[in-house]
Structure 1
Amino acid sequence: MQPDFIIGGAPKCGTTSLHQILHQHPDAWVARNEVYFFDADDPIAHGDFLGVEDGELSWRDPSQQAFRDWYAARFAEAPEGALIGEDTTTYLMSDAAPARIAATLPAARMIFVLRDPVARAHSQYWHLVRSGRTHLSFERALSDERSIVLGSTYAPQLRRFREALGPERVHVVLFEEFNADRQRVLDGVTAFLGLAPIAADDVETWFNRTRYPRRTETLLRLNRIGRHLVPYRYARHFGPGAPLGARVGHRAYRKWSGFVSNRILTEDAAPEDMRPTTRRYLERHLSDRNAGLSELLGTDLSRYWPGFTQ
């Protein structure tokens, strides 16, 4: 089986909620977890998936039949006749994904959820902190963790998808509109997919509760240790055949992550906001990286995103 639609990004933009809502639709089915197929060899988005064995690089190749069979198996549980979907938020960051998706899934439709790029970047930083991937301040992580800025670079990536698939197969949702008028946004999504409308009041629409540390520095210090375990987080993502060392590392990461979740992430709000100078920098830089985005989407995004000028 293959998917009929893909929620392709962006990370930290409410895609989990959309995933779960569509999975509750009686005529749709969405694979349980993010799949990471069309960008599995991307060293920026998925450095954990690349390995070095005896000095030789190893990676997941989406063109290899065994990996393609693994991908098809992700949808084996889909009910007959259901519209099948997958959700991988990093596809929007990938230069290679648009052409690969167009070649492999010639009729599939793409849905993207976009958020104020500054707020999204800050949210992704906290995701990296919570998962142990960085021990740096937000300001230092901007240059060390390239995915923070790349994940908020929407315009050039959307153009690639529209060129590869055709604009009629690409649908964009604004996170801010999704929160303000969920029913109208859902009506647009179901119409795009050819599904019957679904009432927002009839489905659970809030997921992925976010927790924060009481003190940022406490978790950043812990992450100096945890970041050595993070590469094993997805050791079992592609199946049980991981080497023994990777399986041991995966168990160690799970224990460390459980400790952080239960003992450190105890607050409902971030312990501090973004520094004003950092916000000014990101508003200018991310506006310029998204030049022409308002025109591309046919809406004035400055109405939703403070400081956005494109």
Structure 2
Amino acid sequence: MAHVPNFLIIGAAKSGTTSIYNALLQHPQIFMSRTKEPHYFSYAGQSVEFKGPGDDITINQMVVTARQQYEALFAQAGNRPAIGEASTMYLYTPDAPANIYQHYPAIKLIAVLRNPVDRAYSAFQHMRRDGREPYADFLQAVNEQDKRKAAGWSPIFYYHDMGLYSQQLQRYFARFTPQQMLILLHEEIREQWPKTLATICRFLEVDIPTTPLDIQEHNKSGIPKNMGWHQFLRRSHPLKTLAKPFVPEHLRKTMTTKLINRNLAVAPPMRAEERVLLSAHYRDDILCLQEMLKRDLSHWLHN
């Protein structure tokens, strides 16, 4: 019997999805695809050739575009009742909701939303950290968005538009019932993880662990103290491949995350004028989102 996903983590990028993914990997009743971000429903059947800095060794290699290859990601799910994956492009890409619905109309969806201003700055610092963002000035990079779209850069560089959540979620609510959607806030993960984990487990209809699953800050933004060491830890390497049979997956991920984070210096904070400008840009979308979700997001408007 072929195994297929019955839940997806759809985004948003830089909002805590990697931390949730790695925590759920530890749950005995949950199977997560070992390829975290296959992005199948965003780019199914397409030739993915983004042209931004580093796209050739990241998203272009990561994306799964063939149905058979995608379903093979879940072949080892066994009898676990919850089967899923986490692709942050699903929230942003317009075709993803319809593609998901066409294949799995009863699927459950988890979205994690972060203050869009903070999300944009975190994405910028992430790309600076990995040596992919050519501009040192945040607003200059934000203002390059249209040029980057025209040049075929991947959406991770669209710092502004990736945070327009109400527009993105509307495409999902047009197809899926509210009961199929779990919307979480980034601050809930950081400040109330045990409670948030219980909410996720109830949504997925699995047991709530008696001991909370470990959650670390993954994909942390910052400035690498040693870029060569950072790239070794972030990318595949023959030595790391040799170690795989001898070190459990969760332990490998935990060790790698700790080493990456220790090699990062704190990134400079966003300038006040940058925050004010971007907050004004996002205001209307946040108000729409607040009404859509029936949740108080005033703290996003007045930070």
Q: Is contact 1:6–1:108 with CA below 8 Å preserved after alignment?
A: yes
Instruction: Select the residue among 187, 191, 195 that pairs with 1:184.
Output: 195
Q: Is contact 1:35–1:88 with CA below 8 Å preserved after alignment?
A: yes
Q: Is contact 1:284–1:307 with CA below 8 Å preserved after alignment?
A: no
- 1:42–1:96 distance in 2 versus 1, CA, 3 Å: farther
Question: Aligned partners of 1:94 and 1:186: how far apart in 2?
Answer: 27
1:170 and 2:169 equivalent? no
1:206-252 Cα deviation digits (max 9, x unpaired): 1426253379xx98xx9xxx9xxxxxx99xxxxxxxxxxxxxxxxxx
1:259-298 equivalences under 5 Å are 266-270=263-267, 272-298=268-294
1:307 and 2:302 equivalent? yes
Residue 207 of structure 2 is matched in structure 1 by: 196
Which consecutive residues of structure 1, in runs of 5 or more, have no partner in the other structure? 50-59, 227-232, 235-260
Residue 55 of structure 2 is matched in structure 1 by: none
- Residue identity in the other structure for 2:161: L
Superposed CA RMSD in Å reads 3.1
1:164-215 Cα deviation digits (max 9, x unpaired): 122211110111012111122112111111112224x442111426253379
- 1:183–1:61 distance in 2 versus 1, CA, 3 Å: closer
Residue 216 of structure 2 is matched in structure 1 by: 206
- 1:61–1:189 distance in 2 versus 1, CA, 3 Å: closer
- 1:26–1:120 distance in 2 versus 1, CA, 3 Å: same
1:144 and 2:144 equivalent? yes
Shift of 1:42: 11
Q: Is contact 1:114–1:172 with CA below 8 Å preserved after alignment?
A: yes
Q: Is contact 2:125–2:221 with CA below 8 Å preserved after alignment?
A: no
- Residue identity in the other structure for 2:144: D
1:277-306 Cα deviation digits (max 9, x unpaired): 111111110122334111211211113x25
SS at match of 1:7: strand
Question: Aligned partners of 1:8 and 1:285: how far apart in 2?
Answer: 24
1:36 and 2:33 equivalent? no
Shift of 1:157: 0.9
Shift of 1:37: 0.6
- Residue identity in the other structure for 2:113: L
- 1:103–1:195 distance in 2 versus 1, CA, 3 Å: same
Question: Aligned partners of 1:140 and 1:285: how far apart in 2?
Answer: 15
Residue 255 of structure 1 is matched in structure 2 by: none
Residue 254 of structure 2 is matched in structure 1 by: none
Q: Is contact 2:8–2:86 with CA below 8 Å preserved after alignment?
A: yes
1:7-33 Cα deviation digits (max 9, x unpaired): 000011111111122221121111122
Residue 8 of structure 1 is matched in structure 2 by: 10
Q: Is contact 2:283–2:301 with CA below 8 Å preserved after alignment?
A: no
Q: TM-score, normalised by structure 1?
A: 0.72
Question: Aligned partners of 1:46 and 1:126: how far apart in 2?
Answer: 24
Residue 241 of structure 2 is matched in structure 1 by: none
Q: Is contact 1:211–1:268 with CA below 8 Å preserved after alignment?
A: no
- Residue identity in the other structure for 1:180: E
- Residue identity in the other structure for 2:111: F
1:124-144 Cα deviation digits (max 9, x unpaired): 001111223211121111022
- Residue identity in the other structure for 2:98: A
Tell me how many residue pairs correspond in the alignment. 249
Shift of 1:41: 6.5
Question: Aligned partners of 2:201 and 2:43: how far apart in 1?
Answer: 28
Q: Percent identity?
A: 31
Q: Is contact 2:202–2:208 with CA below 8 Å preserved after alignment?
A: yes
Which consecutive residues of structure 2, in runs of 5 or more, have no partner in the other structure? 53-62, 146-156, 237-258
Residue 170 of structure 2 is matched in structure 1 by: 159
Shift of 1:48: 5.1
Question: Aligned partners of 1:16 and 1:103: how far apart in 2?
Answer: 26
Question: Aligned partners of 1:85 and 1:69: how far apart in 2?
Answer: 16
